[in-house]
Structures are given as structure tokens and as C-alpha cells.
Amino acid sequence: MIDLKKTLTKENPLPEAVSFSLNGQWSHFHVAPSRRLVDLLRLDLNMTGTKISCEVGRCGSCMVLMDGKPVNACLVMAYQCEGRAIETIEGLQDEKTDDVQGAFLEEGALQCGYCTPGMIVSLKGLLNENEDPTYDELKQSLSGNICRCTGYGGINRVLVRLSSESATREAGNGGESHQRL
């Protein structure tokens, strides 16, 4: 029998057990201490909606919800998810998310689509805390997301459509028109 402890090295550490809720299902994994959440999702579980891009937490392509709040999965180690609730773009299926996804489709805010899952997750994180956000609050919630295709015109229209001010404008009570991100 192989003594596992003798085969362990700095490059090959003993896997750690970690359990967390993933898209509403309690899940158990054995992961290396150095395993990032984004790698667990994409490489081990084939959940490719969460993207890998900058790998330093600046682009937002890997955004997931941890306990309802947006986090960059490229900066979260898998063991840090112990006992937490993780939601990926694949697991976001509710009325609020449907509204956001519908707005992206209707406003043509997809371009290549690589940044879209992260933006939807970020907006869902805001909507978890504030069901009636203003344009500025929506804009701020996307401050950690970038679109390399420069599809900000469509994204701006999504924010206008989702904002609480949109309902005010439609009711004829005025409201500021937002032209730029």
C-alpha cells in the first residue's frame, strides 16, 4: 500500500474536503489547497458559463455569487467555499434573473457574449439586496466588469431598462435620461 504522506510535496499537497451549496445542491469535493473556485467549476465540473479571462479579478468574467454577493471566482480558493452558498450563471433561474437576461437579449447587449454571464451575475447580486435600483446603483454594480468588445451601448440600455427611473419615465413623471456608462 502506498503511504500517501510520503508522496506529498509542495506541488502535490493532500487534497482537502470541502462542502458547499452549488446552485442549490449540497456538494462535496476533495480539492488541492491551491485549487481556485473557477478551476473547480470549469475544469472539474464542466460549468463553462463562468469564464476565465484576466485571472486577477479585474474583468468580472468569472463572477459568481457567494452567499448572494458577487465575487470573482478566480480569486476564491475552493476551500474558502466551505459551508457557503455558491451560485453560477447556470444556477440563476428566477424572475429577477429572467428580467436581466431578457433585457440583455432585447437590447442586443451581447456582442461576443464572453462578459455577459459575469454582468448578469453582478446585476443579480445587486437585485438580491435592492429590488428597485437606480441607474447609478446598477452602473456601480458593474464596476468590476468589463466588455472588451466595447458593447457598452447595449449594456447602457439594459441599465436604463432595469432602473427604477425607467418606470418613472414611462409613467410620464420625467426622469433623467442616461446616455453613457
Write a three-state SS string for 75-138. Answer: CCEHHHHCCCEEECHHHCCCHHHHHHHHHHHHCCCCCCCCCHHHHHHHHHHHHHHCCCCCHHHH
Residue 31's DSSP bridge partners are 16
* CATH fold match for the domains 4-91 and 95-170: no
CATH level 2 (architecture), domain 95-170: Orthogonal Bundle (1.10)
What does pTM read for this prediction? 0.84
The more confident residue out of 151 and 136 is 136
Question: What is the reported pLDDT for 178?
Answer: 52
- CA dist list (Å): 59 to 3, 18, 101, 132, 139: 43, 27, 19, 26, 15
Domain boundaries, the chain: 4-91, 95-170
The pLDDT tens digits of the residues spanning 131-144 come to 999 999 999 999 99
Question: What is the reported pLDDT for 175?
Answer: 47
The whole-number average pLDDT for the span 14-34 is 95
**Residue 12 pLDDT > 80:** no
Residues 121, 126: Cα–Cα separation, whole Å:
9
Domain 4-91 has what CATH class?
alpha beta
The whole-number average pLDDT for the span 53-65 is 97
Question: What is the reported pLDDT for 98?
Answer: 86
Q: Measured at the alpha carbon of residue 144, what is the angle toward residues 42 and 142, in degrees to the nearest 5? A: 105
